[in-house]
């Protein structure tokens, strides 16, 4: 496992467009066998103690504690950061997650009121410095309403997350709120985005969704072409075998181009509609779904240790950790 992580990271560092401060030469000197040198492991432990992730809580958020547990499960410290604290206090954190829920009861439009909060200005500035920022479900809606995503013209609202529209065989068969397990396909090289560093291209992950407004739309001419060209469409809805089909239920909300997750041009911000924190542990995966993860769940049945092991969503948080560790390494010696 660790070999694979370092192998992916090595490639990530060589080719990443991400603007972070780290010492590439020093990092590449770490043996690819993994933690052969205990000093490196101790060093990482020491660094992990210093890493703090802010999990933003707005009135109406309801996934912040689950998200906090998911972040802590990979060894990082997470703190719930209330929306009405002083915005400048956010600057001391190494990464940010805006979790799911119904911020401000979705008044006016999902994410629109939270997008105007003062802390979003600070988060925007910190993200511009290269710090990782993940928006999950309602968090993704906030990022889109703030203009952080897709970020072609940073700050400009270039997309929307519209009410779901499920089409099949040319007919609209369903609308609005839908919750189920769906499959995501990694669309680009994992290194393209901070939160998918450890994913291989075309890798399929089963992750649950639960939303009424998850349909990525845009009236900006040429935006979709630009996103594809920039490799900003990181994750798309697919079948368990990784096939892209535009119809429901493979595309669960009618999203443009089956988009499930979009990153900014720098790759350190991701707006993701599915909930990775709800697939963080293997025990969370339903054994009834199709694919390898369900089979792994069945193999682990009755073995608590295995059930508490890694689920499909955990790679998102581990990727975030690896990215921050790389940045911290350079800051310590830089």
Partner 1 sequence: MIYDLDLLVKLKIPDVTAVTTKDTLQRRMGYKGVLKDLRREDYWKIKVEAKNEKEARRLGVELAEKANIFVNPNKHTYQLGVGGQRTEVISHQSSVISYQISGRREKGEDRRQRLGEDKLYPLRVLVSYLEDGTADLICDALKNRLRYGKRILEVQRGTIWTLIIKAKNKRVARQIAREITLTKDRKKGLLANPHFQKYQIYV
For partner 1, the binding residues (CB under 8 A) are 104-105, 107-109, 112-113, 115-118, 120-121, 124, 145-148, 155-160, 162-163, 165, 172, 175-176, 217-220
277 is catalytic: yes
**Residue with Cβ nearer partner 1 (163 or 276):** 163
Could you give the residue ranges of the DSSP H alpha helices within 204-248? 223-229
**Residue with Cβ nearer partner 1 (219 or 225):** 219
* Best CA proximity match to 272, nearest among 187, 192, 212, 195: 195
* Best CA proximity match to 211, nearest among 254, 173, 267: 254
Q: Which position has the token pair 């995501």? A: 184
CB distance 131 to 95 below 8 Å: yes
Rounded to an integer, what distance in angstroms lies between the CA atom of residue 204 and that of residue 260?
13
**Residue with Cβ nearer partner 1 (79 or 84):** 84
* Residue-wise DSSP of 108-154: SSTTTTGGGSHHHHHHHHHHHTT--EEEETHHHHHHHHHT-SS-SST
Dihedral of CA atoms 287, 288, 294, 296 in degrees, nearest 10, equals 40
Q: Nearest distance from residue 144's CB to partner 1, in Å? A: 9
Active-site hit among 128, 145, 189, 277 = 277
Active-site hit among 64, 145, 158, 275 = 275
Distances (CA, A) of 221 to 158, 159, 226, 261: 10, 11, 10, 20
Active-site hit among 137, 193, 238, 263 = 137
**Residue with Cβ nearer partner 1 (156 or 202):** 156
**CB-based burial of residue 77 (10 Å sphere; 0-12 exposed, 13-18 middle, 19+ buried)?**
middle
CB distance 237 to 258 below 8 Å: yes
User: What is the CA 13 to chain-centroid distance, rounded?
Assistant: 19
**Residue with Cβ nearer partner 1 (61 or 183):** 61
137 is catalytic: yes
CB distance 267 to 18 below 8 Å: yes
Q: Nearest distance from residue 104's CB to partner 1, in Å? A: 6
40 is catalytic: no
Tokens of 317: 């948080």
**Residue with Cβ nearer partner 1 (23 or 167):** 167
Positions marked active-site: 137, 275, 277
């Amino acid at each position: 496992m660790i070999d694979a992580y370092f192998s992916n990271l090595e490639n990530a560092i060589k080719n990443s467009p991400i603007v972070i401060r780290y010492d590439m030469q020093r990092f590449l000197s770490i043996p690819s066998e993994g933690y052969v040198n205990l000093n490196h492991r101790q060093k990482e432990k020491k660094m992990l103690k210093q890493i703090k992730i802010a999990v933003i809580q707005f009135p109406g958020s309801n996934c912040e504690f689950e998200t906090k547990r998911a972040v802590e499960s990979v060894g990082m410290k997470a703190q719930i950061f209330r929306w009405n604290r002083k915005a400048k206090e956010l600057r001391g954190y190494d990464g940010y997650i805006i979790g799911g829920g119904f911020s401000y009861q979705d008044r006016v439009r999902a994410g629109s009121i939270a997008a105007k909060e003062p802390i979003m200005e600070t988060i925007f500035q910190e993200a511009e410095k290269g710090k990782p920022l993940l928006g999950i479900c309602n968090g993704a809606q906030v990022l889109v309403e703030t203009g952080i995503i897709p970020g072609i013209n940073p700050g400009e609202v270039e997309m929307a997350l519209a009410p779901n529209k499920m089409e099949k065989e040319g007919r609209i068969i369903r609308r609005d709120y839908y919750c189920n397990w769906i499959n995501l396909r990694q669309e680009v090289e994992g290194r393209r985005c901070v939160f998918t560093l450890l994913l291989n291209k075309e890798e399929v992950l089963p992750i649950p969704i639960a939303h009424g407004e998850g349909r990525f739309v845009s009236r900006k001419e040429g935006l979709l072409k630009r996103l594809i060209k920039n490799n900003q469409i990181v994750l798309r809805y697919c079948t368990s075998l990784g096939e892209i089909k535009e119809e429901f239920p493979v595309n669960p909300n009618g999203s443009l181009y089956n988009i499930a997750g979009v990153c900014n041009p720098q790759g350190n911000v991701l707006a993701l509609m599915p909930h990775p924190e709800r697939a963080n542990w293997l025990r969370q995966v339903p054994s009834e779904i199709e694919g390898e993860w369900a089979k792994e769940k069945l193999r682990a049945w009755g073995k608590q240790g295995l059930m508490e092991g890694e689920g499909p969503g955990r790679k998102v948080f581990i990727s975030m950790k690896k990215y921050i560790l790389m940045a911290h390494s350079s800051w310590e010696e830089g």
